[in-house]
Amino acid sequence: MARHGGGRGWYGKLIGAALGVTVLATGASVWTAQAGAAGGSSPKTSASAAPAIKPVDVSIVHASDKGARGVNITIDDGPDPNWTPQVLDVLREYGVKATFCMVGTQAQAHPDLVKRVVAEGHRLCDHSVSHDTAMDKNTQAYQSQQILDAERMITKASGGVRPMYYRAPGGAFTPYSRKLAADRGMRPLGWNVDTKDFEQPGADAIVATVQRELPNGPTLLFHDAGGDRSQTVEALRRVLPWLKQQGYSFGFPVR
């Protein structure tokens, strides 16, 4: 699993307005009353107010719960009001379930889409508050804020359904972030096939990448936000039936 994608914190401009957090030059953050209202009355979740959370394995998962002929479709960086509905329509057309790795500010801004993802049988994944691909270079306090605040934002937007996985932006995992997520019941989630769709290489190139790199493993990485994703939508429309023709079934990453 190589690191991928975008610059540092490309959702950074949304944080102050959507989360109520002041981001300092050091990368630390200041919790405010607005942020508390968005995710709870304080940065800490009351143990008496929430059901017990079962920790999961701390290792980064790639395997599919469908076994050797299973594939996992994973969709990163949304939800986006233009592209996520189109991705969902294609998944529904082919009867495929996927894992949506959501950025906290995006989930908070589009709770209707988060609820639709859940209602249509897909799974949620925490992809941090602001998609900071250099968060592994920052403090543990900052990593904690990015992961736990996003968890709260996604859970609230979904109507109470918690993320089942945590995917670090750009693969910027640390031992600390993996353990923190796993202790919260979110299995660290990697990928085997990076379609590079965020580079907009064309639908043909995206499809070719999947076909070429699928022997690397079952977890495929696509994006539904961060730019024009028309090529991703078209590529999925071609990749999904091709995978079925090759005898693959669609599952979720094991937990």
- Which residues are tagged catalytic? 76, 223
Dihedrals φ, ψ of 87, to 5°?
A: -65, -45
Integer Cα distance of 98 and 91 in angstroms: 8
Integer Cα distance of 79 and 183 in angstroms: 25
Integer Cα distance of 147 and 162 in angstroms: 13
Length of the chain: 255
Nearest to 248 by CA among 125, 126, 33, 67: 67
Tokens of 176: 């600390």
Buried b (16+ CB within 10 A) or exposed e, 126-157: bbbbbbbbebbebeeebbebbbbbbbbbbbbb
